[in-house]
Amino acid sequence: MRSGARRLSRAGLFFGHGTDNAHDEAAALLWSVLRLPWPVTAAAYRRRLRPAQRTAWEALLELRIATRLPAAYLTGETFFAGLPLRTDPRALVPRSPLAELIERQFRPWIDPARVRRVLDLCTGGGCIALACAHHLPLARIEGTDISRPALELARENRRRLGLSRRVRLTESDHFSALRGREYDIIVSNPPYVGARELRSLPPEYGHEPRLALASGRDGLDSVRVILQEAARHLTPGGILVVEVGNTETLVRRRWPRLPFMWLEFERGGGGVFVLTREQLTTHVR
């Protein structure tokens, strides 16, 4: 693993699709070659590779370096909020800090016991919607996306996790197919990369759907629609939770009167705000 990490490090790769360093990336690739169940135990570190495994491991390292495919696309699987999810280029690689908030059942922003309906807007491969279903067992979840390939992957993940009864997946351009529907929580990791930033991203991002990243000139096209329309789809006392990543500064500047609550995460990441329905209706016309 150490020698693999050194090779990845020397190759000048970018780590930002579920790991943030060469060592964790090498571990993810190696565990997938060894087909070890998650979580990996300390005993796994004493294992030796059989010749066929060594060949597969070398090939995987080579492929990661030569193609710049994110590790999760090479292994076909990643973990999100404790759930194993199938991962391929039909949807973004799941990595949102929102996982931590979902594991906490959105506390302290809402009482989980009162949550009956959750909308995951821009669900991609379904990670947020499925994690909500797992961690909020009383709730019904709706996941929506404009991309059919992403929704296909979300349906596969829903089936594998046995969550078909409580998770509905709907094709929709933002809220357009959701007229009259209300939710206690609207959570979203929408696209938020501006045109200039998109051109400067490392090659790993080029393997992800452009639709999952790009959001107009300033990166805020999706966020604008969400802020404008979310209140209409929230129940009284309901909350809106949105990841905007490094466009946080721009969001603060564009909507100076909105009382965003910006969250902090123990496992890293940021750029996530919470607003209540009441705050939205007061401030957004």
Ligand X SMILES: C[S@@+](CC[C@H](N)C(=O)[O-])C[C@H]1O[C@@H](n2cnc3c(N)ncnc32)[C@H](O)[C@@H]1O
Q: Which residues form the interface with ligand X (CB under 6 A)?
A: 91-92, 94, 96, 122-124, 127-128, 145-147, 150, 173-174, 189-191, 211-212, 222
- We find the least distance from the C-beta atom of residue 242 to ligand X, in angstroms, to be 11
SS3 of the chain: helix, strand, coil, percent, to 5: 45, 15, 40
CA dihedral 221, 235, 238, 138 (to 10 degrees): -110
Which residue lies nearer to ligand X by CB, 4 or 94?
Answer: 94
Which residue lies nearer to ligand X by CB, 69 or 212?
Answer: 212
Which residue lies nearer to ligand X by CB, 30 or 93?
Answer: 93
Question: In angstroms, rounded to a whole number, what is the distance separating the alpha carbons of residues 248 and 252?
Answer: 6
- We find the least distance from the C-beta atom of residue 55 to ligand X, in angstroms, to be 32
Sign of the alpha-carbon dihedral angle for 249, 250, 254, 260: negative
Ramachandran sector of residue 234 (left: φ over 0; alpha: ψ -120 to 50; beta: rest): beta
Which residue lies nearer to ligand X by CB, 57 or 96?
Answer: 96
E strands, the chain, are: 77-80, 83-86, 117-121, 140-145, 167-171, 183-188, 234-243, 261-262, 272-276
- We find the least distance from the C-beta atom of residue 62 to ligand X, in angstroms, to be 27
Which residue lies nearer to ligand X by CB, 41 or 200?
Answer: 200
- We find the least distance from the C-beta atom of residue 57 to ligand X, in angstroms, to be 27
Nearest residue to ligand X on Cβ basis:
124
- We find the least distance from the C-beta atom of residue 49 to ligand X, in angstroms, to be 32
